[in-house]
Structure 1
């Protein structure tokens, strides 16, 4: 049974790989029209080719640049009409000890991971409020928005901010047909994590298995999260049955965190 109707238009930022691509595949399989937004054209175009006529590629979609967001929305409107479901997935997670975290790094992470959510949501909100159908804002946060981790202070601060924004906006929109929620994955099997494992292995001399174990030990189930598990949670939040779910931070983390 489809979670969303074919009349729904989903805009996904950071859609080229990992969690974003899994979410795009899930919505396309459920019958929605999907606008794939991101900075790099090659992975977006490859995914659009895979998904077929229901998918639009919006490359050069920099969430820190309001002008780029505006241009992307014009293209999305021309292809599929107003956006009815927004998935804020774009983000970065560089690692550094706090004492070696420069102001430049701090500002960059907050600009992409937090202000980017603000920028895109503010641009898309008029579509959502006037769509005439139940609309959704779904922010891909992280367990780093619920708890703390060493060496990613900027990322933790940004993702805590995303959850705060989610809760505040949910209250502001409670009388409308727009719900606002955050999904908080634990360590997920994505290209970003693969790159992190490669970097740690090269830097420390540990084996890949030893490095991977450092990530999976956080999950009581002893494994990485699959992107498809995150996508299924997003699809449920977008479904008609989730109309009363708003202002929530839902962990997809095998029991690592138990409150949000």
Structure 2
């Protein structure tokens, strides 16, 4: 049996004089780039550079909208009404869409960032607001959401294509949600273990939760965090092991 999977990374998160990640190098090992849109990270110069780089490397261009929280990197939950969520998605995705089109390209997908992403995992109203905003911009855009989450359900309900996302470097709770970053066991630090977990998610559709139970999971796309210190090293290793296991890296929607 032939297996296909998309590999995505959150990129374009530098801001002004502050450089985050090794985007130029990580881009060589992924099929989809989630580019920050200026609210949690990134700026207009970084957005332009990131879109151009993704286009040159034939990597899918995706918008990565977040909460308006530069200082907290978009990882602090906020109490925001669904209508405001809808508006901030329209605003940010529309901005990146303009950069893509000005470079003779189109957006491929949308993936919410950080706290906004996690809020949409469990809150159906927030998830629906995001899905409806994406639909209003372009019903052909693919919505990335945590596998089995409310965001995935909202995307399907709204009638837009969805990609169920799994995380190589994060641990899972028994309900299928990610372990909060505030907890000591949130990250999978060992690269060998992380890659092994990914292979099992793709081939067996299972991942072990922190309590030892198995969760059924659908892996359309794998996330590599571009802001992590070892992101480049891990991206290289993941691509090598996927190939060794007969898994073909292919952009979602292609």
TM-score, normalized by length of structure 1? 0.41
Larger Rg: 1
In terms of fraction of residues, the more helix-rich structure is 1
Ranked by relative contact order (alpha carbons within 8 Å, sequence separation 6 or more), the top structure is 2
In terms of fraction of residues, the more strand-rich structure is 2
TM-score, normalized by length of structure 2? 0.42
